[in-house]
Structure 1
């Protein structure tokens, strides 16, 4: 059984896009945000993220925690490592997002 990714931090733009608060952020799973195309794109690029350190994801749609559709022009995912070079987390940045 694979653990579901959890959002643990977002800046104010990320909180606005997801229509949530920092306290409620962990309750939102990746599977609730990215649509099927977005999840497929993310998991297809995941090996590149782990090997190269980052990957660009295609234009897509996601949903805010309130169920509102959000479109984004591009997303960038990158890995963050700790002092021992072990993966600490994966970060996502959505570029040119807007409520659809």
Structure 2
């Protein structure tokens, strides 16, 4: 069985870099598994099917962890699918998932 590639972060604005406590260069070394603990991943799972079907999902308040281990709380997160502009068999391919974390703060 082949291993599935782990999702990585490709871009963040300055607020995202501040929240993750990282740099744009180091950003691609971060995966969702590194910033969401077990409970965070479990909270994301029910909305993942909705995200894949509808193209977006509003996630409830929660917590994640910065790259240096500080806990971050957020009031809401929104995630949506970003499609590539090339077409394969008349279907756009998903290029990546985008996340927006609203009203986040360090604990």
TM class by shorter chain equals over 0.9
Deviation at residue 28 of structure 1 after TM alignment: 1.2
Q: Aligned equivalents of 1:43 and 1:9: distance in 2? A: 23
Matched positions, count: 100
Aligned-partner SS, 2:95: strand
Which is greater in Rg? Answer: 2
Q: Which whole-Å CA distance do the structure 2 matches of 1:26 and 1:44 have between them? A: 26
What root-mean-square deviation, in Å, do the aligned CA atoms of Structure 1 and Structure 2 show? 1.0
Q: Which runs of 4+ in 1 moved over 6 A?
A: none
Instruction: In structure 1, list runs of 5 or more residues that go unmatched.
Output: none
Following superposition, the deviation at residue 55 of structure 1 comes to: 0.3
State the TM-score, normalized to the length of structure 2: 0.88
**Structure 2 match to 1:14:** 16
- In structure 2, the gaps of 5 or more residues are none
**Secondary structure of 2:5 counterpart:** coil
Q: 1 or 2, which has the higher strand percentage?
A: 2
TM-score for both structures, normalised by structure 1: 0.93
Q: Distance in 2 between matches of 1:12 and 1:21?
A: 9
